[in-house]
Amino acid sequence: MTGPVIVGTDGSRAAAAAVEWAAGDAARRGLPLRVVHAVDRLPYEIARYPIPVEDQLDRAGRRILEEAEQAVRETHPAVRVTPALIEGDPSRVLRQEAANAAEIVIGSRGHGGFAGMLLGSVGMHVAGQVDVPVVVVRPGVSAPHGLVVVGVDGSAEADAALTYAYEQARLRECRLLALYAWQLPVHSFAPEIAYDLDEVRTAQEDYVADALRTHRERNPGVPAETRAVCAHPVTALVEAGEKADLLVVGSRGRGAVGAAVLGSVSRAVLHHAHCPVAVVRVPRPSAEDV
């Protein structure tokens, strides 16, 4: 993908963290950076009670973009950065921007979000909805861990997540951990069924190793570790993410409802993980491919 890295900003702390993350990723990948601010006039468009906010919204948006652009030039002067002030709903604007992007980067929660929610409405309406990876970044600076964690489950979405995770680990020159969380089935009508946990664990580890074989061969310079744990996927991924620079998940894994583009595991990880989270979706076939 040769398109730019797209980052959305509204001037919030989370957005500032997203701009910083996006600038670093654009620098590592040698891509331009496009900083987007969406001017959403809908909350103010009340015909009966018109409010003269058009100029204020535009001025505020330009100021936000100028501050973001200046921050990028100070930390990554080699990155070619382009600001863009676009009218429309932020979620819709970012989904449209994704058509020509390498990835979309957004803050975990912008202005006006509920304090108890780590993931804002924009993230919920963009992650898993576009064909490029969507990275959700939390505010706050943490020490680098030199580790990228990726969740695997054998699905096509997990394979796409592996491809992205390996690329990130290679560009960052860090380790990769492929994590597969499994749970023993519960037999309601035969609770006496017993399992050899060591045997099951060995089988699961072999399964993960087999899923990674092709990716290992393509990326021989990336130190990779596979781990299969008996735990709920969300719990395992969130805990692993505490010592990671990036946590990568597929947009929808096995067992998800077909209509739900963003699966339950990805959704929960986005709400609970405190490191940057990348949601990767398998690109839909174009009209030419059908």
What pLDDT sits at residue 266? 86
Last residue of a domain, one of 88, 113, 137: 137
Task: Output 288 or 202, whichever has higher pLDDT.
Answer: 202
Contact assessment for residue 5 and residue 34, using Cβ atoms and an 8 Å cutoff: yes
Name the average pLDDT for the chain: 82
**Spatial strand order in the sheet of 103-107:** 81-87, 33-39, 5-8, 103-107, 134-137, 277-280, 246-250, 147-151, 175-182, 224-230
13 part of a folded domain: yes
159 part of a folded domain: yes
285 part of a folded domain: no
274 and 153 within one domain: yes
What pLDDT sits at residue 259? 33
The mean pLDDT value for 108-127 works out to 60
Query: Where residue 94 sits, what CATH number does that domain have?
Result: 3.40.50.620
Task: Output 17 or 56, whichever has higher pLDDT.
Answer: 17
Last residue of a domain, one of 116, 137, 158: 137
Task: Output 118 or 166, whichever has higher pLDDT.
Answer: 166
> Is the pLDDT assigned to residue 254 strictly greater than 60?
no
**Which helix (H) or strand (E) is 134 found in, with range?**
strand 134-137
Residues in the chain: 290
**Averaging pLDDT over each range in 79-88, 141-150, 261-270, which range is the top one?**
79-88
288 part of a folded domain: no
What pLDDT sits at residue 176? 97
166: left (phi over 0), alpha (psi -120 to 50) or beta: alpha
77 pLDDT band, cuts 50/70/90, is: very high
Task: Output 273 or 6, whichever has higher pLDDT.
Answer: 6
> Is the pLDDT assigned to residue 115 strictly greater than 50?
no
What pLDDT sits at residue 83? 97
**Which helix (H) or strand (E) is 236 found in, with range?**
helix 233-241
80 part of a folded domain: yes
Q: Which domain holds residue 105?
A: 5-137
Domains contained in the chain, number: 2
113 and 76 within one domain: yes
Q: How many CB atoms lie within 10 A of CB 40?
A: 19
Last residue of a domain, one of 112, 137, 162: 137
Q: CA end-to-end span of the chain, whole Å?
A: 21
What pLDDT sits at residue 274? 87
pLDDT single digits (tens) 145-184: 999 999 998 777 888 999 999 999 999 999 999 998 877 6
Query: Where residue 225 sits, what CATH number does that domain have?
Result: 3.40.50.12370
